[in-house]
Structure 1
Amino acid sequence: MRKDIWFLIVNPTSGSFSRKRKWTQITAAFEANELPYDFTFTQKPQHEYELVLEALQKGYRKFVCVGGDGTLHHIVNGLMQQQQVSLEEIKLAVIPLGTGNDWVKTYKIPTNIAKAVQIIKDEHTVFQDIGKLSLLQEPTTVFFNNVAGLGFDGYVVKRNERLKFLGPMSFLVSTVLGLISYKASEFTITSKEKEITSKSLLTIVGICQFSGGGMQLTKDVDPTDGLFDVSMAKRFSFWTLIRNVVRLFNGKIVNHPEVETFKTDAITIETSQKNTYIQADGELIGTGGFVAEILSKKLQFVVSPSWKLEPTN
Structure 2
Amino acid sequence: MKNRNYLFIVNPEAGSGHAQQVWPQLRHWLNEQQLLYSVHFTQYPHHEYQLAQELTHYLTSTTILVVVGGDGTLHETLNGLHHAGVQATIGYIPCGSGNDFARGANIPADPLAALQKITTTTDPTTLDIGVFYEKTRNITAVFTNNLGIGFDARVVHQTNQAPSKKFLNKVRLGISSYVLSAINAFFRQRAFQLTATIDGETQTYERTFLVTTTNHPYFGGGVPIMPLAKMNDGKLDLVIIEKKSTLKFIWLFITMLLPGHKYLSFRNFHHFQANQIDLSTTSSEFGQADGEVLNSDPFNISFTLSKQQFLI
TM-score (norm 1): 0.86
Deviates more, 1:187-196 or 1:37-46: 187-196
Deviates more, 1:262-271 or 1:120-129: 120-129
Structure 1 residues 99-248: aligned runs within 5 Å: 99-123=97-121, 125-161=124-160, 162=162, 163=165, 165=169, 166-192=173-199, 194-198=201-205, 199-248=207-256
Q: Could you say which residue in structure 2 is the equivalent of 1:306?
A: none
Helix, strand or coil at the partner of 1:269: strand
Helix, strand or coil at the partner of 1:291: strand
Identity %: 29
Helix, strand or coil at the partner of 2:152: helix
**Counterpart residue type for residue 71 of structure 1:** T
Maintained 8 Å contact 1:201/1:236: no
Q: Deviations over 1:205-245 (max 9, x none)?
A: 11122111112222521212221111111234332233233
Helix, strand or coil at the partner of 1:75: helix
CA distance in 2, matches of 1:226, 1:169: 36
**Counterpart residue type for residue 79 of structure 1:** L
Q: Deviations over 1:151-182 (max 9, x none)?
A: 11111111221336233454444323322322
Q: Which runs of 5+ in 2 are unaligned?
A: none
How many residues are aligned here? 296
Q: Are the structure 2 counterparts of residues 188 and 116 from structure 1 closer, same or farther at C-alpha, using a change threshold of 3 Å?
A: same
Deviation at 1:52, TM superposition (A): 1.2
Q: Are the structure 2 counterparts of residues 171 and 209 from structure 1 closer, same or farther at C-alpha, using a change threshold of 3 Å?
A: farther
Deviates more, 1:200-209 or 1:137-146: 137-146
Structure 1 residues 1-313: aligned runs within 5 Å: 4-18=4-18, 21-59=21-59, 61-83=63-85, 85=86, 87=87, 90-123=88-121, 125-161=124-160, 162=162, 163=165, 165=169, 166-192=173-199, 194-198=201-205, 199-250=207-258, 251-274=261-284, 276-287=285-296, 288-296=298-306, 298-303=307-312
CA distance in 1, matches of 2:56, 2:137: 30
CA distance in 1, matches of 2:225, 2:271: 10
CA distance in 1, matches of 2:241, 2:103: 23
TM-score (norm 2): 0.87
Q: Are the structure 2 counterparts of residues 95 and 235 from structure 1 closer, same or farther at C-alpha, using a change threshold of 3 Å?
A: same
CA distance in 2, matches of 1:126, 1:13: 28
Helix, strand or coil at the partner of 2:217: coil
CA RMSD of aligned residues (A): 2.2
